[in-house]
Chain A
Amino acid sequence: MRLRANAYVYLAIMAIMLFAILWTQLGMKYGIQSKLLPTLIGSIVFLIATVGLWVEVRKEKKAGKEEKKTAGEAKETWRRSLVNFSWVIGFLLGIYLLGYTIAIVIFVSSYMKWLGTRWLTAIVWAVVTSAAIYSAFQFGLQLPLYKGIIPEWLMG
């Protein structure tokens, strides 16, 4: 029997809770006061996830043809969402490597272009945004932005 995505989510939550309970009980030398709540909440969430999984498996048995029709559409939206989320991760990596000022310019211009803006507009927006953020942090909040490991390494 092929499980639906929801069922895997419940299984993942059950695994995380089981790990948390075992870690609390066996892995660390906590006192009873520190063990109580993680064990209690972990067990409750584990039980609820089990109920959810049971409901999901029962639903799976009853699932009709209609669901399969919309599955293709949902898959496409899911794929596009994942691509958009990968831009977020790319931005995080950009900040870590190049720092905020450079990463903002690259991220805003390329993401806007990818979303359908013309290059010139995207670059102007990117430069203005980066300059505005830099000024607001550097001069307004007097809070230097993260410089990134590559510029810091280059500057020694």
Chain B
Amino acid sequence: MSNNALIEVNLESLQHQIAKNFASQQASREKFKQVYLNTLAVYAVKNFLDWAEFETDLEAGDSWNSIIRRFNDVADLVIPDVGKLECRRVLPGETIISLPPEVTEDRIAYVLIGFNEHLNKVDLLGFVPSSDEQEMSEISRDSLQPIDDLIDYLQELEFQAFSEENTQTINSTTTSTQTNLSPIEKLKQWYSNLLETGWLDFQSNRELAFAVRGSASNDKMIKTEKIIDLGENQPVKLELKLTSQSTEETEATISVYPNGDSKILPTGLQVIILDEFGNTILEDVVKSGAKSIDFQIALEPNEHFSIKLILGDIIITENV
């Protein structure tokens, strides 16, 4: 369907400044222009989505990753929990827009942005939802859906994402109840997920069963750890012990120790345990000379939490 309805979006000096900074890291004129215009294209869509009250996360995109944008032609914008939009630049006179292979995967839609001679404003020309059935290699301006409808499309996707998340929660709860997962099975699942996020594999390639220690009772425990860099040679070790006492509840012990040369934790280090909605459950501040700090919390099946470490300007959050 052909669409002539445009939305004109202004671009601010600061956004141009960031585009120039990104572009200045490139080694050729062609790449300089590509990165400059890609950055503006992403900002144009972000400005529109801000106006329409959709949350976006610039830094989560490949286009904000200095190495990826150096090697790939990317202009993606992440909408948290929904997906990525690809914001493709359209130069004057272009009617067919080629898509490089690196942008044909994991996009929820392609938004075309028309550039004119003056770069203080651009036109949002329309969008094309991505298709699961076929990989797209080019977009014709004639195939665009009206840009106004992008709001409806994203709203629907937000709800779908929300429904899927709830369905998954319901399904996993149901499965857990139906199959009555043993404590060891639950911990194996959890452990496996933790390893995906950079926690150390304690059993060093041995069978997982070795990492899961049974006590005289039915309790099962696993232990894993992660080194956190707090800057200025102040690494700390975050240790996590998960003990499953029954099929209904798991106990987590979170400990922070010094790592490296120092035998004590950095004074003033703030450690906060947050629930899955970001509410503080427990918090403490390291006092002078402290060698460790510990917390214990009880968790329901499938309940997640976060550990936040704050030291001066450094804030690190680990999701568990």
A binds B: no
Give residues in A with beta carbon < 8 Å to B.
Answer: none
